Chains A and B, each alone.
Chain A
Amino acid sequence: MASEAVPLTVHKSPLAVVYEWLGTADHKKIGLMYIVYALLFLVVMGIEACLIRIQLAHANATFLSPQVFNRLFTLHGTTGVFFVAMPILVGFGNYIVPLMIGARDMAYPRLNAFGFWMTAFGGLLLYGSFFAGASIAQAGAAPDFGWFAYAPLTSTAFSAGHTADYWNLSILLGGVGSIAAGINFVATVLTMRCPGMTLGKMPLMAWMNLVLGGLILVTISPLTAAQMMLMADRYLGAHFFDVQAGGSVVMWMHFFWIFGHPEVYVLIIPCFAFISEVVPVFSRKAIFGYPAMVAATVSIGFVSLGVWAHHMFTVGMPSYGNAFFVLTTMVVAVPTGIKIFNWLATLWGGKIRFATPMMFAVGFLFQFLIGGLTGITLATAPFDWQLGNSYFVVAHFHYVIVGGIMFSIFAAFYYWFPKMTGRMLNETLGKWHFWIFLIGFHLTFDTLHIPGLLGMPRRIYTYEAGRGWEIWNMISSVGVIFQGVAVLIFVYNMVASFIKGASAGNDPWDAWTLEWATTSPPPEYNFAVVPEVHSRRPLWDIKHPEDPDWKYE
C-alpha cells in the first residue's frame, strides 16, 4: 500500500523550498498558504479588536484618539471579511474539495495560484496604507470610514489623500482573487469528480463549495462595479455618488449591500460544510436528510440575493420597500432553520463522541441559532429603526461571525489538521482552547446586546458616563482577554503538535469521505489510483464491504 512505502526524500536547499511554495499550483499548498495568511491577519484583527475594546471599556476614555479609533474599526471589519474569513474558507475548500471528490487538483491550478496571490497582495496593500504617511489635508492614510465605505464620505471632498484608494484597490484585488476562486470551485465540482460520484453522491462539503462558488460570482462583482464607480468619481470627475450633480449616495448603499448581504452567506456556507462533515462523523451517523440539506443550501444561495436592503431600513425607503425586505429576510431563515433541524436530527440517536472538533460544532449549533434569531429580530423593520446602527447589531453579527463562523473554523482545524500535517492536535489543549474561548466569547458578545438595547451607537470612539453602558462595556472588554488566551493556546497547540504531535495515520477519526482514503498528508498527486465510488460514504463502503451504503441509498 502506498501509505506504507517510504517516500523518496530529496534534500532541498531553503531557497528551493521558498521557490517551490512561491511558484506552486498544487491545491494543497495553495490551501495551506491561504490558511496561514488568514491566521496571520486573524492575529492582526484580534489586536485591533483588543485596542478597540480597551478604549471602550471606560466612559470618556482617552486611550485612543478618535481618528485612530476610526481607522481601527474600519480595518478590523475590512480585514476580517476580506483577508481573514474569505481566505481561510477558500483555503479549506481548496485543500479538501479535490480530495473529497477523488480528483488530483482543482480544475484550474494556475488560476488558483493567481487567486491566492491577488488576495495576498490585496491584504498587504490595505496595510501598506498605515505606512504611507498622512496627507497634507490631514486625512491620514489608513481608511477610517467604516468597512462599508459609505458615499459621500469616500469622495475626494471628504476623504482627501489616498485613504479611500487604499481601501478601494486592496479590496478590488482581493475581489479578483475571490472571483478566481469562485470560478475554480464551480468548475472543479462540476467537471472533476471521480467515476461514480454523481452530484447526488458528493459529500455535502462539495455541494456547499459549489453553491459558494456560484454565489461568489454574483456577489463580489457588484462590489467590483461599485468600486469602479468610486474610482471614476474620485479620479475621472464622474458623478455616480455626487449629490450636487444629481447623483445618489443611497445608490452606493444599494450596490454595497447587494454585495454585502450575500457576502455573509458566502462566509457562512463553507462553515455549514464543515459542520455537515464533523457532526455525522462524531455522531457515528450519516447526515440526516441529505437532499433537504442540498435544497436548503441552494435556496439560501438564491434567496440571499434578495434581502440586501434590510441593512437600509433606517435610510427612509418607502413602506412597501421596507416590507418587501422584511419578508424576504424572514424567508431566508427558513432553509437555514431546516439545516439546523437536520444537524440536530443527525445528533439524535447517534453515538456522540465529544472530541474537540465536535465540541466546537455543538457550540456552533447553539450560537449560530441565537445569532440567527437576533438577525430575525433585526429583520423586523420597526425594531431595526430602534436598534439599527447600535451595539445590538454589532452583537448580532459578531455572534454569527465569531460564535458561528469562528467556531466552525476551529472545528475544521481540529478535524483536518491531522490530514494536512500527519499529526494529531493535542486534545487536552484543544479542550482548554474551547472552554476558555467559549467563556470569552459569551462574556464579550452576550453583554454587548444590552448597551445596544440601551441605545449605545456603533462606531463611537467613546461615550459619556451615566448612561448605564459602562458595566456592560467593561465586562465585554474583559471577555477579550479570555479569547486572546484561548487563541494563543490554539496557536501553541498547532505549532507544538506540528513538531511533536502524535502520528495521525490515514484516518484518525474513522470518517467516510475520500480525503481520509489517502495518506496524511496526501502525496502531491492525491490518489495513486483514481477512486470509483458508489455511495455517499465511499470510505464506509471500503471499510465495511459486507454492509455497504449503496445497498440502502
Chain B
Amino acid sequence: MSATTANISASEAPWQLPSRGKVGMICLIIAESAIFTIFIAAYVFYIGKSLSGPTPRAVLKVPVVGTICLLSSSLTMHWAIAALRKAKTGLFSLFWFVTLALGAIFIIGTAIEWRHMIYQDGFTIQTNLFGTTFYSLVGLHASHVIVGLIGLALVMILTLLGKVKPAHTERCEVFSLYWHFVDAVWVVVFTTVYILGR
C-alpha cells in the first residue's frame, strides 16, 4: 500500500540515503576502536609499573621503516581507488599491489622484531607487565593488519583475473576505510608504545 500523494507536492530533491557499505564499515571501525581503546588504556596504566624484567628502553627499537611503509600504504591505497574511479584499471592494479607489498613489509618487520625480542632478549608476554601489554596491544594491531592483507590479496587476485571493474569502486572504497583505520590505529599505538611509553 502506498500513500496517495496527489495533494502533496513532491519534494524536489531526490531521495538520498547514506551509502550502506560505508555506514556498515564505519560502525565496525567504531566497535574495533573501542576494543583498541581498552588495550591502550591498559598499556598506559601499566607504564612504569612492571616489578621486574626489561624496560621498554632496553628492548624496543623504533620500527621506522615499517611505520613509513604502513603509512605510505594508505596513500597508495587512496591513489588506487582514485585510479579505479577514473577507470584506469591498470594503474589501480599497480597501486593496489604496492599497498599490499608495503603492508607485507610492515608485518614482516614486526615479525623480525618479535623474533629478536623473544629468542634473543627472552622477552615474552609472560615476562612482566610491559611484556603483557606490549604483545597484546601490538599483536591485536598486527592481527588486524593480517586480516587487511588477506583482503588486499583477495582483491589482488581478482584484479589479476580481470574481474575488478570501475563499478566496484564503491566496494573497494569501503575496504579502504578499513585499511585507513588500521593505519590510524598504528599511529596511536606507535605514539603510545614507542614515544610515550619509552
Contacts and interface: CB of A to CB of B under 8 A. Distances in A.
Given A213-B27, A217-B31, A251-B45, A538 B129 contact: no
Interface in A199-229: 213-214, 217-218, 220-222, 224-226, 228-229
A512 to B, nearest CB: 12
Given A240-B132, A541-B3, A217 B39 contact: no
A221 B35 contact: yes
A542 interface: yes
Interface stretch (A79-87, A126-134, A524-532): A524-532
Contact of A217 (B8, B11, B34): B34
B132 A248 contact: no
A500 B136 CA distance: 58
Given A187-B23, A190-B23, A232 B125 contact: yes
Nearest to A107: B20
A463 interface: no
Central interface residue in B17, B19, B32, by most chain A CB within 10 Å? B17
Contacts of B51: 245-246
A192 interface: yes
B160 interface: no
A428 B179 CA distance: 58
Contact of A218 (B2, B17, B31, B42): B31
Contact of B35 (A183, A222, A236, A541): A222
Interface string B31-65: 11011111101100110011100000000000000
Contacts of B28: 183
Interface residues of B, number: 42
Contacts of B195: none
A537 B11 CA distance: 18
Given A190-B18, A237-B126, A529-B2, A183 B27 contact: yes
Contacts of A531: 1-3
A1 B38 CA distance: 55
A199 to B, nearest CB: 10
B141 to A, nearest CB: 13
B120 interface: no
B24 A196 contact: no
A445 to B, nearest CB: 33
A382 B119 CA distance: 53
B125 A237 contact: yes
A516 B107 CA distance: 54
A328 B24 CA distance: 31
Contact of A182 (B19, B31, B46): B31
A255 interface: yes
Consensus secondary structure, chain B interface: helix
A238 B132 contact: yes
Interface in B6-23: 8, 11, 15, 17-20, 23
Nearest to B40: A225
A187 B15 CA distance: 17
B31 A228 contact: no
Interface in B126-143: 126, 128-129, 131-133, 136, 140
B194 to A, nearest CB: 21
Interface residues of A, number: 55
B42 A229 contact: yes
Contacts of B39: 225, 229
Interface in A534-553: 534, 538, 541-542, 545, 550
Nearest to A550: B8
A258 B38 CA distance: 10
Contacts of B35: 221-222, 224-225, 228
Contacts of A533: 3
Contacts of A196: 11, 15
A229 B136 contact: yes
B178 to A, nearest CB: 13
A23 interface: no
B129 A247 contact: yes
A195 interface: yes
A58 to B, nearest CB: 44
A190 B17 contact: yes
A532 B38 contact: no
Given A221-B35, A246-B49, A251-B45, A232 B132 contact: yes
26 contacts: A2-B1, A186-B23, A191-B19, A192-B17, A196-B11, A214-B27, A217-B31, A218-B31, A222-B38, A226-B38, A232-B125, A237-B124, A237-B125, A240-B132, A240-B136, A245-B50, A245-B51, A246-B50, A248-B45, A251-B42, A529-B1, A532-B3, A534-B8, A541-B3, A542-B1, A545-B4
10 interchain residue pairs of minimum CB distance: A221-B34, A237-B126, A225-B38, A183-B27, A238-B132, A195-B15, A217-B31, A246-B51, A191-B20, A221-B35
Interface of A: 1-2, 107-108, 179, 182-183, 186-187, 190-193, 195-196, 213-214, 217-218, 220-222, 224-226, 228-229, 232, 236-240, 245-248, 251, 255, 258, 517-518, 527-534, 538, 541-542, 545, 550
Interface of B: 1-5, 8, 11, 15, 17-20, 23-24, 27-28, 30-32, 34-39, 41-42, 45-46, 49-51, 124-126, 128-129, 131-133, 136, 140
Given A193-B17, A232-B125, 8 more contacts: A179-B31, A183-B27, A224-B35, A238-B132, A251-B45, A255-B38, A518-B1, A531-B3
